Chains A and B, each alone.
Chain A
Amino acid sequence: EAGVTQFPSHSVIEKGQTVTLRCDPISGHDNLYWYRRVMGKEIKFLLHFVKESKQDESGMPNNRFLAERTGGTYSTLKVQPAELEDSGVYFCASSQASAHNEQFFGPGTRLTVL
C-alpha cells in the first residue's frame, strides 16, 4: 500500500513568489493534516481536513496560506506571497479516524524562501 506522498520534495523560491505544495494521502483516509517545522523548532499543526471540509484551521499562520482539498482526495497548500519566515519543512499526514488513530506522515516538502 502506498504511503502519504508529497510533492515537491524541495522548493526554493524568492520572497514574493507563490508556491503550491501537494499532498496525496493514503487511499481511504478521510482525515488529512498539514504541519510545519521551522528550523530549530517543533512540528506545528496548521490545519485538518475531514474529507473536503476544513475541520480545524487554527494553526494557519495568516491569510497568505490557502489550503484546499477538492473532492476529498489530495490536498494543496498554497503560499502567496511567500515571505522569508515561511521557510521550513511542510509535512502532510493522514489518518482513518480523527481522534486516537495513528497519523501517517509524508516525507515532507522543504521550502526555502530567499
Chain B
Amino acid sequence: SQKIEQNSEALNIQEGKTATLTCNYTNYSPAYLQWYRQDPGRGPVFLLLIRENEKEKRKERLKVTFDTTLKQSLFHITASQPADSATYLCALASSGGSYIPTFGRGTSLIVHP
C-alpha cells in the first residue's frame, strides 16, 4: 500500500542551525512533491513544490531535494529562527491520477533561541 512517512518525533534545534526534515514514501510514482507549513489552529501554508524531474529547489532560506531512486525528499531550513517553529507536512501527487496531494502526518520543528 502507499505510504508517506515523516518523523513523528519533534525536531529540536538551536537558533541559527540548519533544520533538516525527511519525507520517505513507498509505492508511489509521484509527479511532484510539496512541502507545507502548519501552525496550531491554522490551515497548511504552501512552501515549495518540486517536480519528479528536479533534484533540488531553493526559496530564500528553504531548500528541498527530491531523490526518486531513494524515494525521499529532504527539507532544509538554513539559519533557523524561533519563528520557524511549526509542523511541516510533505504531500505527494501521483502521475496518472488527478494530482490531488496525499499528505504525510508532518514533523514538528522547535527552534530554541
Q: Is the CB of A55 within 8 A of B103?
A: no
Q: Is the CB of B34 within 8 A of A102?
A: yes
With most chain A CB atoms within 10 A of its CB, the pick from B89, B93, B101, B106 is B101
A107 within 8 A of B: yes
Q: Is the CB of B44 within 8 A of A43?
A: yes
Q: Is the CB of B100 within 8 A of A41?
A: no
A103 within 8 A of B: yes
Q: Is the CB of B103 within 8 A of A43?
A: yes
Give chain B nearest CB distance to A83 CB in angstroms.
23
Given A41-B105, A42-B105, A100-B49, A105 contacting B99 (CB threshold 8 A) = no
Q: Is the CB of A4 within 8 A of B99?
A: no
B96 within 8 A of A: no
* Residues of B with C-beta under 8 A to A106: 43
Closest residue of chain A to B89 (Cβ to Cβ) is: A43
Q: Is the CB of B45 within 8 A of A98?
A: no
Query: Among the listed B49, B98, B104, B105, which residue makes an inter-chain contact with A56, where contact means beta carbons less than 8 Å apart?
Result: B98
A45 within 8 A of B: yes
Q: Is the CB of B99 within 8 A of A99?
A: yes
Q: Which of A96-114 contact B (CB under 8 A)?
A: 98-100, 102-108
Q: Is the CB of A107 within 8 A of B43?
A: yes
Give chain B nearest CB distance to A42 CB in angstroms.
5
* Residues of B with C-beta under 8 A to A55: 98
* Residues of A with C-beta under 8 A to B104: 42
A44 within 8 A of B: yes
Q: How far is the CA of A104 from the CA of B89 in the complex (A)?
A: 14
A33 within 8 A of B: yes
Given A42-B4, A55-B98, A93 contacting B105 (CB threshold 8 A) = no
B102 within 8 A of A: yes
Q: Is the CB of A107 within 8 A of B42?
A: yes
**25 A–B contacts, CB within 8 A, in A order:** A33-B100, A35-B103, A42-B4, A42-B102, A42-B104, A43-B44, A44-B103, A45-B100, A45-B102, A48-B98, A55-B98, A56-B98, A56-B100, A93-B43, A98-B98, A98-B99, A99-B99, A100-B32, A100-B93, A102-B34, A102-B49, A103-B46, A103-B101, A105-B45, A108-B43
